[in-house]
Amino acid sequence: MKHLVIGALVGGVLAAPASAEMTLNIGYLRVEQPAPPTLSNLDPIPENNGLAGAQTGLADNLTTGKFLGQKYELTVTEVFEDQDPLAAARDLLSASPYLVIDAGPEDIIAIADLAEAEGAVLFNTSAGDLALRDVECRGNLLHTLASDAMRTDALAQVLVKKRWDDLVMITGTHASDLSYAEAVRRSLTKFGLDLNGEKEWAFDADMRRNASQEVPLFTQDFGDYDALIIADEVHDFGRYVLYNTWQARPVVGSEGLTAVGWSPVIEQWGAAQLQSRFEDEHAREMTAQDYAAWAAVRTLGEAMTRTNASDRETLRGYIMSEQFELAGFKGRPLTYRDWNGQLRQPIAIVHPRALVAQAPLEGFLHQTNELDSLGLDRPESKCEAFQ
């Protein structure tokens, strides 16, 4: 296990603030998840994926805090495969009720169910699984990472808008591929689109022939369709499908046109500033998981700034109230859904070089908030822990 505390030194910039100094300690737990082998190593997952975002959020909080006599600390624990994530979570929770988690869905639920986590404020920044926002939700668990369903709903809105309503899908075999494919099916039904063909990508070796020979044959029996959806969340084979399909059709989903919580190509809404701040600090581009961790740390910072309190009842109450709003560089205030703790947020639809659209798309209406056209809306969610 590796521990480090990122310090919170505050310069004497200001004539003495009125309030006494207050410190908020935030725990950050990273549970290593084995990455499956992929055909290409062109885009390695950064080692500090997520953590870097939390550190940028911490820096933002510290700058604001110095004008208010408020300090922040981030205590980071990394757990490797042969170690016990629950012991590490207990340790962190004994020091602070605020915990940002980067782990798989099973570990996240197990942590939320710890006796030490009762009344804590936990943030899921790594698992998009719908169940965590649905039957498996927990009252002490908020989600800053957009759910898979929010992303596939965003994609479906684009498909509707483009009238690409005759769709086929290729699905990988990993758990995250399957849950993404499930979210795709749900979204297509929700938005009245047809899935007219599905194939599984189950090659158990590297491609025997190169992609330009393999993929045309593999996609030939789909017949005609409007767009091909790839469910390949581990980014194994999807990149080889583009421009190699039998039919000349757009590729969407995990590759090609993708719907994401964050992307380096987002520059509007002041996002260029967050991107350049992040890149200066970490010498790489900001990922969706970095963004989720940034939003979690900033959520706590915003709550302490506005309430001038650091106790969990006050902060949680404020975070879930109508007064709370996070300026998240997505063009709208971000808030939490009071039925399942999901951070309500626009979803970017991008290709690797540019932003194509931002969901909710114009025309997708909702009786209270258009952002709730993405993901599990109040009547759809079976979560009861927030009632």
Partner 1 sequence: MIRLTAMFSLLASTAMAGEIWVTNEKDDTISVISTDTLEVIKTYETGERPRGILFNSDYSRVYICASDSNAVQVMDPNSGEILHELPSGDDPEQFVLHPNDKHLYIANEDDAITTVVDVETRKVIAQIDVGVEPEGMAVSPDGKIAITTSETTNMAHWIDTDTQELFANTLVDSRPRHAEFIKDGAEMWVSSEIGGTLTVFDTATQTEKAKMSFEVQGVHPDRVQPVGFEFTAGDTHAFVALGPSNHVAVVNAETYEVEDYILVGRRVWHMDFNEDRSMLFTTNGVSGDVTVIDVEKREAIKSIKVGRFPWGAAYRPTGS
Among 119, 223, 331, 352, binds partner 1 (CB under 8 A): 331
Residue 257 touches partner 1, criterion: CB under 8 A: no
Residue 67 touches partner 1, criterion: CB under 8 A: yes
Residue 326 touches partner 1, criterion: CB under 8 A: yes
Among 26, 27, 31, 60, binds partner 1 (CB under 8 A): 60
Site string for partner 1, 297-316 (x = CB under 8 A): --------xx----------
Task: Name the one residue in this structure whose structure tokens are 């158990």.
Answer: 204
Nearer to partner 1, 64 or 314 (CB): 64
Among 277, 284, 312, 351, binds partner 1 (CB under 8 A): 277
DSSP for 28-69 reads EEEE--PPPP-S--SSPPPTTTTHHHHHHHHHHHHHHHTTTT
Cross-strand bridge partners of residue 359:
347
Tell me how far, at minimum, the Cβ of 165 lies from partner 1, in Å: 27
Among 2, 9, 15, 20, binds partner 1 (CB under 8 A): 15
Give one word for 144, left, alpha or beta, with left for phi > 0 and alpha for psi -120 to 50.
alpha
Say how far apart CA 349 and CA 357 lie, in whole Å.
5
Residue 19 touches partner 1, criterion: CB under 8 A: no
Query: Phi and psi at residue 236, in whole multiples of 5°?
Result: -90, -65
Task: Name the one residue in this structure whose structure tokens are 């993405």.
Answer: 374
Q: Which residues lie below 8 Å from residue 213, measured CB to CB, with a gap of 6+?
A: none
Q: Which stretch binds partner 1 (CB under 8 A): 1-9, 27-35, 129-137, 324-332?
A: 324-332
Tell me how far, at minimum, the Cβ of 225 lies from partner 1, in Å: 34
285 closest CA partner among 298, 276, 296: 276
The residue ranges that bind partner 1 (CB under 8 A) are 11, 13-15, 60, 63-64, 66-68, 270, 273, 276-277, 280, 305-306, 325-327, 331-333, 369-371
